[in-house]
Structure 1
């Protein structure tokens, strides 16, 4: 059993202020039984956040910032896409941008309350414009499409988890090959402005779809690196509160997570099962796993295990 917990920490001063009141008894006890692996160090400006890097490695995917090929990975799992498995892919996610006098902000990604019929209507409208640029769209789930095209081969793109609520300028694709995609984004904004589906969405109080975001770009690695690592189960419960900077809600989500998943993992460890825990902040990721403690670790644990709040502060 391997649990991967994104948004486990933030260096936001309000998050740091609330950390001392975080009470995670099950995970605290579990960590005293596990051995830490080397820190996966990064920074908060990386295009691929720590939790995506930590998930990619056990899957055997290459971990190159902004080019973890999530879209190609999804395409490989689709029997209907066998004829086009090769080449370069991207994930297209419908979203809402808010423009002010000084910046454009990602207001919502993915879109809430977007149903399959609405997603198909947007796809039908937008597909011809993508086709003109040599890009073919394939529906994945409402508001999420797979895009196949040579332009994505070496394109670096930012994860949606990096851009929600933020000024988009630093996160936009920067390479020369991205020029055509920036133009396409502008064209789609104009196309979607008066789209009848958006009119109906606004009538029921939902935000309009006025843009799309590209992520998960790159080619399927051939051959794929094999790995014996345990594929993690991603626990998403902290995401929404963290991205909204609702730190009291984040703390409550942490407490609920510890009471459920934390207890389950602790019980598995107590039964002698192999367990792993990966905690991911904005910059770094750290994994602990079942392995006999070294003499140095035993001595350290004798004087008391490191508080989990201090570990989270380091992420």
Structure 2
């Protein structure tokens, strides 16, 4: 998920990535979930827009929904320029490089991003400093932003199509690698740079230290959020608050932790949004799965009698919230 959270977040628009997932284990769990606050909140709201997609798109629904809310404009799949959108020079082509461990198995290569590899600043910075000169030779300036994300800027990044880290993490790499187009010099350059990084990191002393400590080695990087902003952002409303507590359990396939995270979300943010809705405030909720993202909102602030009527209708027969989650 892009860490793009401007200073003015709205307490009245909540966006929830990985509210549901496509894994059979998650789908089987949904009917068992009791989410009374979410059920009550959805009864207060009306379904607005639904951004429809599929499990195989490079851009996941929560990134498309956030891009829409922030006014980043329309972009092709895998081409939302998140790095540029966060910079002081949004018209310059930029991207994020995330150090990774590519696990080679019998029949596939699986990506594990630095977020789950116990990669600290010391090891990450040493690898960054080794890679940066190679990038500079190819007209890409690399800047150390954090252990798990390095900022890249340069013309070869302008027209890259790349899968979100939230799509590729923990999954087979070939499924999330865009075909290299013969006329896209930037894509060919990045593929070569990734191969060079693999050889460079393989013999780096940092990985000797990691192997000695029984930690996964870092043997490459993933490019995401690439491109340039063609025009200024024009937000369609208040910047949503993004709740990411479901993200890591979903990526890890830890559905017990994911269910517990949903219960925490219910008690805290969903409960607060429900209270605001019942008080007559305008509220918006965006729930995102791995296929679709749906947004609910109240059409207008309600008076006391209207709110009472809505509460009575809710108690009489509102469909359980898990059925809405199952549509995402």
- Whether the TM-score (by the shorter chain) exceeds 0.5 is yes
Structure 1 residue runs of 5 or longer lacking an equivalent are 77-81
Written as runs of structure 1 = structure 2, the 5 A alignment for 1:1-315 is 1-64=12-75, 65-76=77-88, 86-176=91-181, 177=184, 178-222=187-231, 224-292=232-300, 304-315=317-328
Name the SS of the counterpart of 1:37 in structure 2: strand
8 Å contact from structure 2 (residues 17, 243) kept in 1: yes
8 Å contact from structure 2 (residues 71, 236) kept in 1: no
1:51-97 CA distance string (max 9 Å, x none): 00111112111342111110101222xxxxx5xx5421111111111
Q: CA separation in 1, counterparts of 2:180 and 2:227?
A: 14
Distance 1:148 1:155, change over 3 A: same
Structure 2 residue runs of 5 or longer lacking an equivalent are 1-11, 302-309
Q: Which runs of 4+ in 1 moved over 3 A?
A: 300-303
Q: CA separation in 1, counterparts of 2:203 and 2:29?
A: 44
User: Which moves more between the two structures, 132-141 or 210-219?
Assistant: 132-141
8 Å contact from structure 1 (residues 5, 236) kept in 2: yes
Specify the alignment match of 1:79 in structure 2.
Answer: none
Q: RMSD of the TM alignment (CA)?
A: 2.2
Distance 1:238 1:68, change over 3 A: same
Q: CA separation in 2, counterparts of 1:243 and 1:285?
A: 18
Q: CA separation in 2, counterparts of 1:207 and 1:163?
A: 18
Q: CA separation in 1, counterparts of 2:25 and 2:120?
A: 35
User: Which moves more between the two structures, 115-124 or 183-192?
Assistant: 115-124
8 Å contact from structure 2 (residues 22, 55) kept in 1: no
Shift of 1:270: 2.3
- TM-score normalized with structure 1 length: 0.90
Shift of 1:306: 2.8
Q: How many matched pairs?
A: 305
User: Which moves more between the two structures, 5-14 or 170-179?
Assistant: 170-179
